[in-house]
Amino acid sequence: MKIGIIGGTGFVGSYLLDRLAADGHSMRVLTRPGSEGKLPPLTGVEAVTGDVADESALRECLTGCDAAVYLIGILREVPSRGITFDALQRRGAERTVAVAEAQGVKRFLLMSANGVDEAKTPYQTTKLAAEEALKASSLDWTIFRPSVIFGPPQGRMEFCTQLKQELIDSPMPAPLFYGGVLPKDPGGFLLAPVHAEDVAAAFATALTSPEAVGRTYELCGPAAVSWKQILTTIARASGKKKLMLPAPVLVVGSVASVLGRFEWFPVTRDQLTMLLSGNTCTEDGLAALGIAPMPFTEGNLAYLTAPSA
């Protein structure tokens, strides 16, 4: 199968390219100028230089393809550089869906995010709008909603590596966020980290599965883990002990609302809102696809002590 991939040079994209190449597929990857070096030297991978805002580049990428995959997602906006949720997560996806239809592509897989139905933040509303645009198309679609994704970063930004660098390695106590005024169960909200290899396996499996057409899959690890447990596991995997203290979102969020627009500030108010809401699945999408997920354990975080981590 020939597959056009938008967002293939990112974290999940690196895993998906490896998996699809191993499965014998050929790929055409839309690649921003200067990012060609992020493509792995795999047989059957072709780079198309361009941007998701460029319809001609999208047409070149998707011409003759049997399927399209849209992976683009950002964690925060940088409007001064044109990096916004609306441009990349909504309009980019809508444009790609339209070009795929026009080019005769039949299959379309979309990376969304778990929890977007809450629609509390621009991140969520733009992801949801992309889902709605795909569902309204004539394409044979499948949507994936993963929880937080972990795994060896392969030179990209990754959830646990970032937490290690910003919180565990810091001399400051790690924050156990909580809502409200009193610190009731600080850091007790739950997430279900899912390994990047399992996310890639879900895409690869659904790609050739007729049963996956018209379905939305939530992708979570095998267990829900509290924020406090996540930080503790990362610290232990890094060979460290870490002091953790309750941190009121009312206070941290107020600071983030002022400083969150700066790239150097580690968190935005919207990120705190989504974090405190938790991120677990209501159904087991990996099991539905026949995939046994890797657990979030110290052993599976050994990459945190690698020289490049």
Structure confidence by residue, pLDDT tens digits, 241-256: 999 999 999 988 888 8
List, for residues 145-195, the tens digit of each pLDDT value.
999 999 999 989 999 999 999 999 999 999 999 998 899 999 999 999 999
Q: Select from 62, 238, 76 the least CA-distant residue to 157.
A: 76
Domain residue spans of the chain: 2-151+193-219, 159-191+223-280+292-305
Query: Using CA of residue 17, residue 18, residue 19, residue 21, what is the dihedral sign?
Result: positive
Lookup result for tokens 């060979």 = 239
- pTM for the model stands at 0.95
Q: What is the dihedral of CA 87, 90, 91, 92, to 10 degrees?
A: 80
Q: Residue 219 to residues 29, 44, 66, 141, 275: CA-CA distances in angstroms?
A: 24, 28, 24, 16, 17
When the candidates are 3.40.50.720, 3.30.540.10, 2.60.120.260, 1.10.760.10, the CATH number that belongs to 2-151+193-219 is 3.40.50.720
CATH class for the region spanning 159-191+223-280+292-305: alpha beta
Give the CA angle between residues 98, 102, 107 to the nearest 5°: 75
